[in-house]
Amino acid sequence: MPTVVLNPGHNGGNATHTAEINRQVPAGFGAYKACDTTGTNTDAGYPEHAFTFDVSLRVRSILRAHGVRVVMTRYDDTGVGPCVDERAAIGNASNVVAVVSIHADGAPSAGHGFHVNQDSRTPDGATQATVAKSDRLGHAIHDALVASSGLVPSTYIGQNGYYYRSDLAGLNLARRPATFLELGNMRNSGDAAQLSSASGREQIARAVAAGILAYLNG
Ligand code: ZN
C-alpha cells in the first residue's frame, strides 16, 4: 500500500506561540528560516490553518477509500508547528511515495486562483529521478485542479498555475517526490467565498485527491 504524506500548512496555536515558531531551523541549501508561520486569513477572518487542515482531512478520506495509506504532519488544528524541517523529515521517510503541502495564499485582493509550487533546484540528497517524479506529481494535481476544483490557474503569480521557486523549506528539504500547493487567494473575495464554504473545500479536496491518485496510477 503506497504511503502519501499530507502537510497542512501552519497550525492553530502558532499565533500565540511567537517565540517557538520564530525559532530558526534549517531550510535547505544551508539557509535558515522560522520554524513556522501563522499563515493568512480571509478578510472575514477564516484562517488559513483551518482551511489547510480541513482540506487535508477531506483529501485523506478520499485517498483512504482508494487504499492509500496517509500520514499527516499534524493531526489537530490547535497545536504549534511542527517546524518546517520536522515536517520535511516526516515526508522523507523511506516508504513515502508523495508529499503534498497544502496552503492558501494571502496575496493582493485583485488576483485569484491556485498555483503549484515546484522547486527550481535539485534538493540536497534528492536524485534527478525524484525531481522528475515531483514534476509529474505537480502536473497531475495541476491538471486535476484545472479540470474540477472550481479554481483557475493563478492570475497573479507564476505561469499557467505553476511557480518555480527556491525558497520553500518543504521543497528544499524534500528527498521524496513533493509539491506545494497554494489553493486560492484568501484575500480575493471570489476565492475566499469558495474557501470559506464546506462544499467549496470539498470540491477542491476532490480535485487534489484525483490528482494524487492519477500520479499514483500513472
Ligand atoms: Zn501558508
Residues 6+ apart with CB under 8 A from 186: 40, 41, 42, 46, 48, 51, 104, 105, 106, 192, 195
Residue among 20, 48, 86, 182 flagged as catalytic: 182
User: How close is the Cα of 60 to the center of ligand 1, in Å?
Assistant: 19
Query: What percentage of the chain has pLDDT greater than the value 70?
Result: 100
Rounded CA gap, 172 and 121, in Å? 8
Query: What percentage of the chain has pLDDT greater than the value 90?
Result: 97
Asked whether 182 and 102 are in contact (CB, 8 A), the reply is no
User: How close is the Cα of 94 to the center of ligand 1, in Å?
Assistant: 26
Give the confidence band of 23 by pLDDT, cuts at 50, 70, 90. very high
Question: What are the boundaries of each domain within the chain?
Answer: 3-216
Q: Over range 39-59, report the average pLDDT.
A: 98
Give the confidence band of 8 by pLDDT, cuts at 50, 70, 90. very high
User: How close is the Cα of 9 to the center of ligand 1, in Å?
Assistant: 5
Asked whether 24 and 92 are in contact (CB, 8 A), the reply is no
List, as ranges, residues with CB under 5 A of the ion ligand 1: 9, 39, 103
Is there a catalytic annotation at residue 20? Answer: no
147-201 confidence digits (pLDDT tens)? 999 999 999 999 999 999 999 999 999 999 999 999 999 999 999 999 999 999 9
Give the confidence band of 1 by pLDDT, cuts at 50, 70, 90. confident
Rounded CA gap, 128 and 139, in Å? 17
Rounded CA gap, 155 and 167, in Å? 21
Asked whether 207 and 144 are in contact (CB, 8 A), the reply is yes
**Which residue has 477509500 as its cell numbers?**
65
Residues 6+ apart with CB under 8 A from 141: 100, 116, 179, 181, 207, 208, 211, 212, 215
84-131 confidence digits (pLDDT tens)? 999 999 999 989 999 999 999 999 999 999 999 999 999 888 999 999
Q: Over range 52-76, report the average pLDDT.
A: 98
Give the confidence band of 71 by pLDDT, cuts at 50, 70, 90. very high
User: How close is the Cα of 37 to the center of ligand 1, in Å?
Assistant: 8
138 pLDDT more than 90: yes
pLDDT at 125: 85
User: How close is the Cα of 96 to the center of ligand 1, in Å?
Assistant: 22
pLDDT at 134: 97
Please give the model's pTM, rounded to 2 decimal places. Answer: 0.98
Provide the CATH topology of domain 3-216. Aminopeptidase (3.40.630)
User: How close is the Cα of 40 to the center of ligand 1, in Å?
Assistant: 7
SS3 69: strand
User: How close is the Cα of 153 to the center of ligand 1, in Å?
Assistant: 17
Q: Which residues pair with 41 in a beta bridge?
A: 47
